[in-house]
Amino acid sequence: MLPALFYGDGEADLALGSWAESSGTGAVYFISGPIDADIEDAGFRIAGSAAGSFFGSHGAVAGDLDGDGGDDVVIGLDGPPPDGWCAYGISGDVAADALVTDVAILMIDAGDDTEIHCHYLSRGDIGGDGEPELLVGDATTDDGDSDVGAVYAFDGPVASHSDLSVDGVLALADADVVVYGIGEDAQVAPAEVGDFDGDGTGDLAVGAPLFVHSVVGDGAVFLFLGPLSPGQYSLDDADFQYNGENPTQAGTDLAVGNFDGDNLADLLVGAPYDCWGPGGFWGGAAYVVYGESL
């Protein structure tokens, strides 16, 4: 669910993913604000193109991709990428129901790896130039042995990226910054950006929910202080590491906010297998790492 200003009228709008519908083909509904409607009354529906690709399972507001002044979105898949695209950029100014392949203004090319799913999408300035990068996380990127995962960052604005083809295709292989996981099946994918140390530059937080610190599945979060220069990085290059305890899979999801009012970004870390509850169910937990504690 993505709130944004799609239509340029000053009203908050909404893009709502429905990834399981139509045998997992998925769809995204664009609802114009002010919002007071059921999904059946949504403004327009953009449908996925293949059963089992789960279009709409992940997404991010990507800024203005097409120069119309309104927000646009990048929507990812959680299944095998049809036609090789693991994510699609869509203009927020949707004007009619359509198939995603007919209206996409950006396609992220997964290359020859049909297991890449673009599990996580976000946006933030990690280069320090004032232009937010588009971040694409894939937990299934492998190192030839196991799914270590990776986060791919494309310099912004994406609409004028030097490697963007005339057809709107941008390949993961052309990412300006890549952070690879380490260790067996670390499954790096979640990534968020915030100024955690107060130097005015965005810092990159990367989650590795299956990273092994002391036991299998304890997970960890790795923080890279910005600015990051173009190139390839591993988790060993991080400035800070925050480890989960027991098999909590800390780092499965991340969020950034200012929770203590000190004007520094704080990090919210999801640990879905924390808090063993009554009846043998995992209650899950979220942990706050304050920027001031760095």
Measuring CA to CA, which residue among 41, 152, 142 is closest to residue 86? 152
Each residue's pLDDT tens digit, 187-217 = 899 999 999 999 999 999 999 999 988 887 7
Each residue's pLDDT tens digit, 163-187 = 999 889 999 999 999 999 987 778 8
Task: Tokens for 221, please give them.
Answer: 């979060």
- Residue 62: pLDDT over 80: no
Q: Poorest-confidence range of 23-27, 46-50, 138-142?
A: 138-142
Task: Tokens for 53, please give them.
Answer: 């690709």
CA 200, CA 192: separation in Å to the nearest integer? 16
CA 58, CA 79: separation in Å to the nearest integer? 11
- What letter would DSSP give residue 142? B
Q: Which domains, from first to last, does the chain contain? A: 2-247 (2.130.10.130)
Task: Tokens for 183, please give them.
Answer: 């260790």
170 three-class SS: strand
CA 117, CA 60: separation in Å to the nearest integer? 15
